[in-house]
Each structure stands twice: as structure tokens, then as C-alpha cells.
Chains A and B, each alone.
Chain A
Amino acid sequence: KNQVEQSPQSLIILEGKNCTLQCNYTVSPFSNLRWYKQDTGRGPVSLTIMTFSENTKSNGRYTATLDADTKQSSLHITASQLSDSASYICVVSKPTGNQFYFGTGTSLTVIP
């Protein structure tokens, strides 16, 4: 069964600290993996996209890693800011048929 699981479900950290969010998937065959950031009441916005051959992709303070062998990805946020408070969603896609599989997200709260 094609599934995407994210952990933790929610996370609270102090401003300035780092954190790491996890995404494990069983989707096969695999095409790419995206991390989205979703602010409350808004649509998700793409942060990074990684294909099978990519291990790391950065976007400012966001760094995503991918281990296609173990089917695991992580999103590392460095020097967190209050504006990082949002839900982070992992999405895995197959090569054909425009099939996308969504994780249920990690809710991150950054407190001053």
C-alpha cells in the first residue's frame, strides 16, 4: 500500500533553535519527494523537490535530505524564526499518472 507517514505530529521549539522533521514512505515506484509549508488557512507552498538521485536539497534555512534506499526523508530547519510556525507536508509522487501521496503533516510552533 502506498503510504506517507510523518513524524512528529506536532512540535514546539524556541526561536533560534534547529529542528528536524521526518517523512517515511512506501510509495513505489518513486519519482520525487516534495516538502511543502502550509501557513494556517492558506494553501501549501513548495519548499524543496528531490528526485531519486538527489540526497540533499537546500532552500535558505530549510535543508531536505532523501535516502531512497530506506525510503526516508527529513526536513531540517536551521535557526528557526516565528514565521516558520506552520504545517509541513511531505508529498511523494510516482513516475506516471500524476499520482501524488500526501503525509498528514507536522505542525510546527516556534515560540519566542
Chain B
Amino acid sequence: KAGVTQTPRYLIKTRGQQVTLSCSPISGHRSVSWYQQTPGQGLQFLFEYFSETQRNKGNFPGRFSGRQFSNSRSEMNVSTLELGDSALYLCASSFEGNGYTFGSGTRLTVV
């Protein structure tokens, strides 16, 4: 079966712009989580959505937001981009908490 699909794979934006990343989970998975990964910080939890509702949220500013659609697909939005937002953004889906399956990520570069 298809894995977790993230689009786009690479993205370059300028400071102040906003960006939307997309994640399609494995079929049947209703939980989708988002992570930011930078070389110095490792994986940092952003938020988790389950059945279109945000269930958990990490310690990120309000510029980071997300949503989940009825088909479990999820989007993450970052407004007013800063240089420090440059990172690999990973999406992971899970079925009833039985571990995560990660997508390949979106590499965001802010210039």
C-alpha cells in the first residue's frame, strides 16, 4: 500500500512569505503529526491531528498552523517566514497510536 506522501519535496521561499505543505497519510490512518527537523535540534514536534481535530500541540509560535481534512490529508502552514524556519518538515501517520510511518519530508529553505 502507498506510504505517506509529502509535497512538495523542496521549497525555497523568501523571508516574510507564507508557505503551505501537504501530507497524505497511509490509507486508514487517521492520525497525522508534523515535525520540524534541524541539524542542531533533532525532531521537534509541531502538532498532531486526529479526525480533523488538533489533538496535541508542541511549543511553536502561532505562525505555525495546520489542519486536517475529512479524508485525513493534512496541511501545515507557516506565515511570515523567518530564516530560522529553514528545515526538513516531516509528516507521519499512525493507526491508533501504533507507531509512526514517516513521509520523505519537505525541505524548506528560507532566504
Contact = CB atoms under 8 A, between A and B. Distances in A.
A97 B56 contact: yes
Interface of B: 4, 6, 31, 33, 35, 41-43, 45, 48, 50, 55-56, 88, 90, 92, 94, 97, 99-105, 107
Interface residues on A, range: 20 to 34
B107 A41 contact: yes
Given A98-B31, A98-B55, A43 B42 contact: no
Contacts of B92: 43
A104 B43 CA distance: 7
Interface in A39-70: 41-46, 49
B43 A43 contact: no
Nearest to B35: A102
Contacts of B43: 44, 89, 102, 104-105
Q: Which of B6, B41, B56 has the most CB of A within 10 A?
A: B56
Contacts of A98: 31, 48, 50, 55-56, 94, 97
A103 B99 contact: no
A86 to B, nearest CB: 13
A85 interface: no
Contact of A43 (B48, B50, B104): B104
Q: Which of A42, A44, A89, A91 has the most CB of B within 10 A?
A: A44
B102 A105 contact: no
A98 to B, nearest CB: 4
Given A98-B48, A102-B43, A34 B99 contact: yes
A29 B105 CA distance: 30
A30 interface: no
A89 B92 CA distance: 15
Given A43-B105, A46-B101, 20 more contacts: A32-B99, A34-B99, A36-B102, A41-B104, A42-B104, A43-B4, A43-B6, A43-B92, A43-B104, A44-B43, A44-B100, A44-B102, A91-B100, A97-B56, A98-B31, A98-B50, A98-B97, A100-B45, A104-B42, A105-B43
